[in-house]
Amino acid sequence: MKKFLALLLTGAMVALTACGSADTTSSETTDAAEETTTEITETAEAADTTAADGKTFNVGICQLVQHEALDAATQGFKDALTAEFGDGVTFDEQNAQGDSNTCATIINSFVSNNVDLILANATPALQAAATGTTEIPILGTSVTEYGVALDISDFNGTVGGNISGTSDLAPLDGQADMIKELFPDAKTIGLLYCSAEANSQYQVDTIKGYLEEMGYTCNYYSFSDSNDLASVATTASGEVDVLYVPTDNTVASNTEIINNIFQPAGIPVVAGEEGICAGCGVATLSISYYDLGVATGKMAARVLNGEDISTMPVEYAPNFVKKYNKTICDALNITVPDDYVAIEE
């Protein structure tokens, strides 16, 4: 059965990497994805033995909200752990529907059930998990900056205690370079983000510095939740030449609102990750959230096999790809360089 699972995973990853041009970046990304799939396949073939050894684990998954990026990270995590342990691992997967208080309730239920490990998918889920237990191992994923998320002033790459994980931080200087490459004549860049998400604040603060060094004027446009997103976005659409949105969960869940405002206004949106770009953006320098989840799952396997989580540094995505939304680019008459890969529709 595990060989069958491995074949399914291989097919899925090939489908994911089939899109795009045959440029060097695309080839490198495809090679990396195939390498990840091969490793999962090889591990899956040994999973029967692991399960036969009698190891069984119950893993709690707290995902902040349902959207493309977080869903992919959760799936990658589950696939990697299933490949390692087969039927020896079960998942209690719960979604907080975007509510931080619900994250806390979910984490408390995991603690009461004495799960073996917690996956905290997104920053509010990680914060709730860190508050909820100092004993059960916690791995974060889709978390941009752990020092910011956990209020660690001297963060050196290793959280310590019972927490580690993976970061979805793409190079913010590279994203600023992308804006300069595509829109060199723009004057004002809008930075749209949810003020309730600490990692979004970190991203816009950081990229603002890079953009101002390039000569742009940057304006902040913060909103507290989805209820005031439309009004804030409408204000921004009348004041900026280009909009930048970071890897923000509230934005990711409401890309249609942004697209319905900015595309008719003829204003391009550069996004912090592929899922947002697919909904409302023209371009992004993005990671694969599925691969990020796989990396987190491999970390989880090491923890469940006895490795000390307190010594495990936070891991970062190894590959970043320039991608573009062909539909919106065509609508806005934007032509991207040849090294950009089209997002599969």
> 292 and 281 share a domain?
no
pLDDT digits (tens, 9 = 90+) for 80-114: 999 999 999 999 999 999 999 999 999 999 999 99
| Predicted local distance difference test score (pLDDT) of residue 39 | 53
Main-chain dihedrals φ then ψ at residue 218, nearest 5 degrees: -115, 135
> 273 and 190 share a domain?
yes
State the helix-helix crossing angle for 100-112 and 123-132, rounded to 10 degrees: 40
Asked whether the beta carbons of 194 and 149 are under 8 A apart, the reply is: no
Separation CA 227–CA 218 (nearest Å): 24
CA–CA distances in Å: residue 237 to residues 172, 260, 261, 307, 334: 23, 11, 7, 50, 18
Rounded to 5 degrees, what angle do the CA atoms 161, 162, 167 make?
A: 100
Considering only 31-45, 57-71, 174-188, which range has the smallest mean pLDDT? 31-45
> 150 and 220 share a domain?
no
Separation CA 181–CA 167 (nearest Å): 26
Query: Residue 43: which pLDDT band, with cuts at 50, 70 and 90?
Result: very low
> 192 and 333 share a domain?
yes
Considering only 27-36, 51-60, 323-332, which range has the smallest mean pLDDT? 27-36
The mean predicted confidence, pLDDT, of the chain is: 88
> 68 and 202 share a domain?
no
| Predicted local distance difference test score (pLDDT) of residue 103 | 97
Asked whether the beta carbons of 82 and 47 are under 8 A apart, the reply is: yes
Residue scoring higher pLDDT (233 or 11)? 233
CA–CA distances in Å: residue 61 to residues 71, 131, 232: 11, 16, 33
98 torsion bin: left (phi>0), alpha (psi -120 to 50), beta (else):
left
pLDDT digits (tens, 9 = 90+) for 111-131: 999 999 999 999 999 999 999
CATH number at residue 216: 3.40.50.2300
Query: Residue 49: which pLDDT band, with cuts at 50, 70 and 90?
Result: very low
Separation CA 30–CA 36 (nearest Å): 10
CA 71, 287, 167, 253 dihedral sign is: negative
Asked whether the beta carbons of 61 and 121 are under 8 A apart, the reply is: yes
pLDDT value at 53 more than 90: no
pLDDT digits (tens, 9 = 90+) for 241-252: 999 999 999 999
Separation CA 16–CA 344 (nearest Å): 9
Structure tokens at 344: 């599969």
> 34 and 82 share a domain?
yes
> 148 and 51 share a domain?
yes
> 43 and 130 share a domain?
yes
Residue scoring higher pLDDT (35 or 8)? 35
pLDDT digits (tens, 9 = 90+) for 250-289: 999 999 999 999 999 999 999 999 999 999 999 999 889 9
| Predicted local distance difference test score (pLDDT) of residue 317 | 86
CA–CA distances in Å: residue 114 to residues 43, 78, 314: 27, 19, 24
54 torsion bin: left (phi>0), alpha (psi -120 to 50), beta (else):
left
Number of structural domains in the chain: 2
> 39 and 118 share a domain?
yes
Asked whether the beta carbons of 58 and 96 are under 8 A apart, the reply is: no
pLDDT value at 20 more than 60: no
Structure tokens at 200: 């979004």
For 117, the enclosing helix (H) or strand (E) is strand 117-121
> 162 and 292 share a domain?
yes
Q: Which domain holds residue 227?
A: 172-286+322-342
> 225 and 137 share a domain?
no
Residue ranges in the chain assigned as alpha helix (H): 2-16, 24-45, 47-52, 68-85, 100-112, 123-132, 146-149, 172-182, 198-213, 229-237, 249-252, 255-265, 274-280, 289-304, 326-331
% of the chain surpassing 70 pLDDT: 85
Please give the distance of CA 158 from its chain centroid, rounded to a whole number: 19
> 68 and 205 share a domain?
no
Residue scoring higher pLDDT (38 or 65)? 65
